[in-house]
């Protein structure tokens, strides 16, 4: 039931944002669709089953989004600087990093966060290992790479998903 409720809220929020209106007819049709879609198409979905719904996890969700946006800005500036200054060295390569996250959704969000940050791209996830293409490999050491790439996001995701 928790999955359906979170899906309902997510779908309704997306519906309202896409329609950019709080007119009664739009909200009512959004509620109807947001109620029907999870029950019709997601009887065995467990996407949100590991999501913790408590004040601490909500705070960590806000902190995660803030941290992600800050890292996104920094990475965009770094990649733009490398494009505009071709003399800057790049050292591309694929590194392995480890995650302590146990939930699948937590690992997927971590991988997506890494991929959405310019200069890094998650190539593959195998168990607790993520293989990341990195535009400027600062270290090929497993622990050092994990610290640089993963730890920023992982501490928040661990509280949100475990």
Read off the pLDDT of residues 48-98 as tens digits, 9 standing for 90 and up: 666 666 788 788 889 999 999 999 999 999 889 988 988 887 888 899 899
Does residue 32 have a pLDDT over 90?
yes
Cα 76 to Cα 156: distance, rounded to the nearest angstrom: 22
- Specify whether the CB–CB gap between 7 and 49 falls below 8 A: no
Tokens read off for 94: 């694929």
Tokens read off for 3: 């999955």
- For 117-150, what is each residue's pLDDT tens digit? 888 899 999 988 999 998 888 888 888 888 888 8
- The count of domains in the chain is 2
Q: How much is the pLDDT for 73?
A: 94
Residue ranges making up the domain that contains 133? 55-161
Q: Do 20 and 71 belong together in one domain?
A: no
Q: Considering the domain boundaries, does residue 89 fall inside one?
A: yes
What is the arithmetic mean of pLDDT over 7-24? 89
Q: How much is the pLDDT for 159?
A: 83
Q: Do 150 and 87 belong together in one domain?
A: yes
Q: Considering the domain boundaries, does residue 48 fall inside one?
A: no
Does residue 46 have a pLDDT over 70?
no
Q: How much is the pLDDT for 1?
A: 67
Does residue 47 have a pLDDT over 80?
no
Q: Do 14 and 86 belong together in one domain?
A: no
Q: How much is the pLDDT for 162?
A: 66
Q: Considering the domain boundaries, does residue 75 fall inside one?
A: yes
Q: Considering the domain boundaries, does residue 128 fall inside one?
A: yes
- Specify whether the CB–CB gap between 153 and 64 falls below 8 A: yes
Q: Considering the domain boundaries, does residue 87 fall inside one?
A: yes
Q: How much is the pLDDT for 67?
A: 92
What is the arithmetic mean of pLDDT over 19-38? 90
Counting every residue written for the chain, the total comes to: 162
């Amino acid at each position: 039931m928790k999955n359906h409720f979170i899906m309902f809220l997510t779908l309704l929020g997306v519906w309202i944002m896409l329609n950019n209106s709080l007119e009664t007819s739009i909200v009512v049709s959004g509620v109807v669709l947001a109620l029907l879609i999870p029950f019709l198409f997601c009887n065995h979905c467990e996407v949100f089953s590991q999501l913790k719904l408590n004040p601490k996890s909500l705070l960590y969700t806000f902190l995660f989004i803030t941290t992600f946006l800050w890292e996104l800005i920094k990475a965009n500036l770094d990649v733009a600087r490398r494009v505009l200054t071709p003399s800057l060295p790049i050292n591309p390569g694929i590194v392995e990093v480890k995650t302590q996250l146990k939930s699948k959704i937590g690992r997927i969000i971590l991988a997506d966060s890494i991929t959405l940050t310019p200069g890094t791209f998650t190539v593959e996830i195998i168990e607790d290992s993520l293989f990341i293409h990195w535009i400027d490999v600062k270290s090929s050491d497993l622990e050092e790479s994990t610290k640089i790439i993963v730890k920023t996001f992982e501490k928040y995701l661990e509280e949100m998903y475990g």
